[in-house]
Amino acid sequence: MIQIHTYDSYEDLSKHAAQLVSDQIRMKPDSVLGLATGSSPVGLYKELIRMHQEEDLDFANVTSFNLDEYLGLNPEHAQSYRTFMNQNLFDHINIEIVRTHVPSGIAEDIAAMALSYEQAIHNAGGIDLQILGIGSDGHIAFNEPGSALDSRTRVVDLEEQTIRDNARFFESIDDVPRQAITMGVGTILEAREIILVANGEGKSAAVSDAVQGDVSTQCTASALQNHSKITFILDKAAAARLNI
C-alpha cells in the first residue's frame, strides 16, 4: 500500500522528504542511501545541505548508491549524473566521496560493471532508504515502460519522451544520450524503505497510474505498490488525479 503525503508547495514537500532522510541518518549514522537525480529531489538535497550546515547532520559514515547514469558520458561531463550529484549534494556535505557510488557510463565491460554494482550494494548491506523521482511516462530510475518488474542493473534504451523531458539539461536534444545504465526495478524494490518525490501537473498522470493503476510494466512505478514501506511525497498538482 503506497502511503501518500501531500503538501501545498514544493518547498514543503522537500522539507518533509529531507526530514525523513535525516531521521534515517540520525537513527543509523552508517545508513546506505539510494539517491536519484533529476529536478525533483533538488529541493530535498538543498534542505539536507542546510541541515548539515546548521543542524550538524552528519554524513561521515553514510554510503550512497545512485540509480543511474547516461551511457557514454564520462563522470566529469557537465551533464553526467556524477557531476549532478557532486554539484547538488556531495560537494556541500561531509560524505566520503569514496563511499558515493554512481554507475559508470564508460566502463569497457558494462555488463560486468552492472554485476559489480549490484554486488557492491549487497556488500554494503543493502539500501536502507531509497529516494526516487518519477518520469512523466511513469518510469523509476531509467526503467522505461516494458522493463521487467524483476529487472536488475543493466543498459537500457531511453524513450523519445524521456529524451525530450531531459533535453532541457543539454544544449540540444541531439546531445542527450539515447541509452543509460540503470538499477532495475527488482534492485530498487529490495530497498528497505522508499520515498518518491514528485511535483507539478506534468507528473499527475504518472502518479495516478502508479498509485491507482494496475501493477504493470507499462508504468514501472506501479511495481512500488508491492513494497511494504513506500511513501509518495507530492505537491497538490502532482496529487491532483488521485482519488483521495
- For residue 40, the minimal CB distance to ligand GLP (Å) is 3
Binding residue count for ligand GLP, defined by CB under 6 A: 14
- CA-CA distance, 76 to 102, in Å (whole number)? 12
Q: Which of residues 120-159 bind ligand GLP (CB under 6 A)?
A: 133-135, 141-142
CB nearer to ligand GLP: pick between 71 and 141 = 141
- For residue 99, the minimal CB distance to ligand GLP (Å) is 21
CB nearer to ligand GLP: pick between 45 and 142 = 142
Q: Which of 47, 69, 128, 137 is catalytic?
A: 137
Q: Does 67 interact with ligand GLP (rule: CB under 6 A)?
A: yes
Q: Does 37 interact with ligand GLP (rule: CB under 6 A)?
A: yes
Annotated catalytic residue 68: yes
Strands 193-198 vs 129-132: parallel, antiparallel or unpaired: parallel
Q: Which of 16, 52, 139, 227 is catalytic?
A: 139
Annotated catalytic residue 227: no
Tell me if 49 sits within 8 A of 56, measured CB to CB: no
Q: Does 40 interact with ligand GLP (rule: CB under 6 A)?
A: yes
Binding segment for ligand GLP (CB under 6 A), chosen from 33-41, 47-55, 113-121, 148-156, is: 33-41
Annotated catalytic residue 101: no
Backbone angles phi, psi at 169, to 5 degrees: -85, -10
Grid cell at residue 48: 539536507
Residues contacting 90, CB < 8 A, separation 6+: 97, 100
Annotated catalytic residue 128: no
Q: Binding residues for ligand GLP, per CB under 6 A?
A: 36-40, 67-68, 133-135, 141-142, 162, 166
